[in-house]
Amino acid sequence: ETGVTQTPRHLVMGMTNKKSLKCEQHLGHNAMYWYKQSAKKPLELMFVYNFKEQTENNSVPSRFSPECPNSSHLFLHLHTLQPEDSALYLCASSQEHGSNYGYTFGSGTRLTVV
Amino acid sequence: KQEVTQIPAALSVPEGENLVLNCSFTDSAIYNLQWFRQDPGKGLTSLLLIQSSQREQTSGRLNASLDKSSGRSTLYIAASQPGDSATYLCAVWDGGTSYGKLTFGQGTILTVHP
């Protein structure tokens, strides 16, 4: 296990369901991120939280709602998703720039919308 | 807007070969560059991080170089093994923000056959 833990590992949900993805980091980092990885596309940044404050929303539809209650936990709340939202959702954490350690990623949640 | 390109898109080599993966980026104002490995359906594992002031980093059979002025990086893998088979991703950490913002290439799919 890396220092970033994501649950669940797999999720199948209907378009009318509401679910949440969870991410927890044990590295003492102060920034956390959600990335989306779709088939045959580069990883796309969705949200950035720095010291619990959302500093970037990369034009993500409102059916994705992030929450960062503290610098160690990050959630992605999902509702009324579409089949094209099926993807691997990756959480990551980092220190500020100048860090010698870069980004640390979790293992991801494989989401399938039916 | 930063763009990252990786060449080749896929590479198949026999075991034991030395190989080079290429990464180029359009905006040289980066803080660092990070190489990752991704196994099918899994998260990202950090391989090497090169700070913008550095020219190269080495870890075991891996060596990554950075030419910031020309917007290029290479990942050299010596004496390749079947266990090296994975997708290799290059990402640049853009400047201008105190937190990191990674822009990814589409990756190189490496297959090392016995």
HEC string of chain B? Answer: CCCEEEECCEEEEECCCCEEEEEEECCCCEEEEEEEEECCCCCEEEEEEEECCCCEEEECCEEEEEECCCCEEEEEECCCCHHHCEEEEEEEEECCCCCCCEEECCCEEEEEEC
Cβ-defined contact of B41 to A98 (cutoff 8 Å): no
| pLDDT over 80 (residue A92) | yes
Assess B42–A contact: CB distance below 8 Å, yes or no: yes
Residue from B102, B103, B106 whose CB has the most chain A CBs within 10 Å, to mutate = B102
Q: Give B91 to chain A, closest Cα distance, Å.
A: 10
- Read off φ and ψ for residue B69, nearest 5 degrees: -65, -35
**Residue A84 has which token pair?**
């094209």
Nearest to A60 by CA among A23, A97, A92, A87: A87
Cβ-defined contact of A102 to B44 (cutoff 8 Å): no
Assess B95–A contact: CB distance below 8 Å, yes or no: yes
Residues of A in contact with B98 (CB under 8 A): 50, 96-97
Assess B89–A contact: CB distance below 8 Å, yes or no: yes
Residue in chain B lying closest to A106 (CA): B43
How high is the pLDDT of residue A40?
79
Residues of B in contact with A36 (CB under 8 A): none
Distance between CA A42 and CA B106 in Å, rounded?
A: 5
Assess A88–B contact: CB distance below 8 Å, yes or no: yes
Nearest Cβ partner of B105 from A31, A42, A108? A42
B20: Cβ contacts below 8 Å, ≥ 6 apart: B74, B75, B76, B77
Above pLDDT 70, what percent of chain A? 93
For residue range A17-68, list pLDDT tens digits in order: 899 999 999 998 888 999 999 987 889 989 988 877 777 777 899 999 999 9
For residue range B57-113, list pLDDT tens digits in order: 999 999 999 999 999 999 999 999 999 999 999 999 876 555 667 899 999 999 999
> How confident is residue A99, by pLDDT bands cut at 50, 70 and 90?
low
Cβ-defined contact of A97 to B99 (cutoff 8 Å): yes
Name the residue type at position A79: H
